[in-house]
Amino acid sequence: MTSNHLAQISQRMATATLALIISMLLLNTAVWLYPNLGTTYGLGFGLTERLLVDRLLAATGEQTVSLPWWQTLGGILLSSVPLLALACGLNHLRRLFQSYARGEYFSSDAASRLGKVGWAVAIWVVLDFLCEPMLSAWVTMNAPVGERLITLSVTAPSFVALFLAACISVIARILHEASDLDSESRSFV
């Protein structure tokens, strides 16, 4: 693969990552505003899918849920907290692809960005875990006594994401060391 072709692919990946960030945040908001998207089309993301689509609709037994505007706004905000951490990590990934498109393969900046991607994925998983009880209490606060929920989920995908985050962080550290060695060898020449 030529470096020009690799640069083009990297630039496309940077654009695709930006599209993913935007669509992820918009989809989360859309499912809160139009819950039928989740029930009818199976759309949803993370906390929104687990709470609004799966549990809340199963608890009410209805295909549509109407929450007051303030409760919907709070749900959007609470479910967006972990997604914003993930979006931050994806933005570092996008900037990493942009630096690869410029031919900056062995830079300490690229290694640092990769490390930030790993940390952001780990923070996303932790925030997802911490925000779920708050969001479930928020969404069901107006439900009759006995139907209010406080949920907490530990899922296999969360463990996989944490493992991948650790792997990415270790690889980033290795690339940082490789970048330092590359800089040292260039200074001797």
Tens-digit pLDDT profile for residues 108-149: 899 999 999 999 999 999 999 999 999 989 988 888 888 788
For residue 37, the enclosing domain spans 3-188
- Rounded to the nearest 10°, the torsion over CA 145, 147, 152, 157 is -170
Alpha-carbon distance 3 to 160, whole Å? 32
Average confidence (pLDDT) over 37-63? 63
| pLDDT at residue 128 in the model | 93
Number of domains into which the chain is organized: 1
Least confident stretch, 45-54, 80-89, 111-120, 137-146: 45-54
Query: What is the pLDDT of the chain when averaged over all its residues?
Result: 86
Nearest to 142 by CA among 80, 76, 79, 70: 70
pLDDT beyond 60 at 58: no
| pLDDT at residue 52 in the model | 65
Nearest to 65 by CA among 87, 37, 42, 29: 37
| pLDDT at residue 181 in the model | 81
Nearest to 31 by CA among 61, 58, 65, 59: 65
Instruction: Report the 10 Å Cβ neighbour count for 184.
Output: 9
Average confidence (pLDDT) over 154-177? 93
Confirm if 165 and 121 have CB atoms less than 8 A apart: yes
- Which pLDDT band holds residue 182 (cuts at 50, 70, 90)? confident
3-state SS, residue 125: helix
